[in-house]
Amino acid sequence: GAVVSQHPSWVICKSGTSVKIECRSLDFQATTMFWYRQFPKQSLMLMATSNEGSKATYEQGVEKDKFLINHASLTLSTLTVTSAHPEDSSFYICSAARGTGGSETQYFGPGTRLLVL
């Protein structure tokens, strides 16, 4: 159990277009979902935390108008990169947790590699 899918796994887009990435918990209900970004040779960096039915909480330095997060159900969260630019090229990965408390295990998707031309 605790499988998280992410789609698409790869996306190439032109500068100025928007890209939507989906994150689904397949066999459990995710109270909380997280979105991370990883640049080459760096660690996974938390971008935002979202709870079902409420607005996402963004980390310092992450533009909420640039990275739109929707957590419409207990099994689906989406990240939309609006008006993507080459500097947004990165690896994006989501995770989902059953609860909201401490020491809760996050279950990760396989990630999405975004290349903006």
Partner 1 sequence: ILNVEQSPQSLHVQEGDSTNFTCSFPSSNFYALHWYRWETAKSPEALFVMTLNGDEKKKGRISATLNTKEGYSYLYIKGSQPEDSATYLCAPEGPGTYKYIFGTGTRLKVLA
Q: Footprint of partner 1 on this chain (CB under 8 A)?
A: 2, 4, 34, 36, 41-46, 49, 93, 100-111
Q: Which residues pair with 115 in a beta bridge?
A: 12
4 near 96, Cβ under 8 Å? yes
Q: Compute the 3-state secondary structure of the chain and give helix, strand, coil in percent, each to the nearest 5.
A: 5, 50, 45
What is the nearest approach in angstroms of partner 1 to the Cβ of residue 104?
7
Nearest residue (CB) to partner 1, 87 versus 103: 103
Nearest residue (CB) to partner 1, 75 versus 111: 111
What is the nearest approach in angstroms of partner 1 to the Cβ of residue 102?
5
Cα–Cα dist 22/103, whole Å: 25
Nearest residue (CB) to partner 1, 28 versus 108: 108
